[in-house]
Amino acid sequence: MRIRIGSRGSALALWQAEHVKARLAEAGHEVEIVVITTTGDRVLDRRLESVGGKGAFLKEIEEALLARDVDLAVHSLKDVPTALPGGLRLCAFLERADARDALLSSSGRRLAELPQASRIGTTSLRRQAQLRALRPDLVLEDLRGNVDTRIRRLREGRFDAILLAMAGLTRLGRASEVTEALDPATMVPAPGQGAIALECREADAPVAGAVAPLHHPETARAVSAERAFLAALGGGCNVPLGAHATTLPEGLYLRAVVARVDGRRMVRSEARGQDPEAVGRSAAESALSQGARELLGP
């Protein structure tokens, strides 16, 4: 079967697309990668929230799917909103990599050891809010660009430290540059962080069947709980919230946080259970009962 994969052109996006391509090729499929430039790739001088949030990294790829210019999209799940365009669906989740956030510092100091007023680069509202709660003395500055660009700016001395996703660094062979992988209990990851999602047309049974062997059920259960939490709080990716589920012998355990961007108020919640959707909703209900709605804005 011939399958055209739509992918962004960044090194990490292409790694993910090539990984999926290799696995599908092993199963006997003929696979082509089509590089698509998204709004998020083009607009680097404004905050993501002003150009559609993380969904700006998906828009043109999803349009290509609907136009039948490609057959499959490969996404970092943390960039995927809970509401998809009509006619599309997530058809597989690959086994998750390390979901933690990673600190890279020029001095080799860990987060707790950074001097006061150290300059930290991150554009993520979630990371900013949790950092401000942990270390209100730090100076946070926006940092856009791909992984190589962000690390280069750190090495050039523009920042004292930066925050990135551990999974992306591992996939690009740069995990050795990490100063500290942050405990999810301290820095709650984004919903879906570390997981790769495959998206296809809703009615495309052949493509869905081709990628079915790549699906990882345990990852699917965990990220479904995280995305259920996100959906219950409005479904966007542009607010400072985190959710991280792990599998325990007795079922799923979900840890979540919703914060004000300035870090001065933070609501934490957790839930346990067997059903991912119910676990996510339960954690959301707990957060809402503590006033999370007021932290999410209008």
Q: Annotated catalytic sites, by residue?
A: 79
Q: What DSSP element (H or E) covers 207?
A: helix 205-211
User: Which residues are 181's β-sheet partners?
Assistant: 102
Cα separation, 1 vs 173, in Å, equals 31
Which amino acid is located at 239 in the chain?
V
102 contacts 169 by C-beta, under 8 angstroms: yes
Cα separation, 7 vs 23, in Å, equals 16
Q: In what order do the strands lie in the sheet with 251-259?
A: 241-248, 251-259, 266-273
Residue 31: what are its φ and ψ, rounded to 5°? -125, 135
Maximum Cα–Cα distance for the chain, whole Å? 57
Q: What DSSP element (H or E) covers 161?
A: strand 161-165
Cα separation, 83 vs 73, in Å, equals 16
Cα separation, 196 vs 163, in Å, equals 20
Spacing of C-alpha 38 from chain mean position: 17
User: Which residues are 271's β-sheet partners?
Assistant: 254
How many other C-beta atoms lie within 10 A of the C-beta of residue 110?
13
Provide the phi-psi class of 6: left if phi over 0, else alpha when psi is between -120 and 50, else beta: beta
Cα separation, 121 vs 144, in Å, equals 9
116 contacts 137 by C-beta, under 8 angstroms: yes
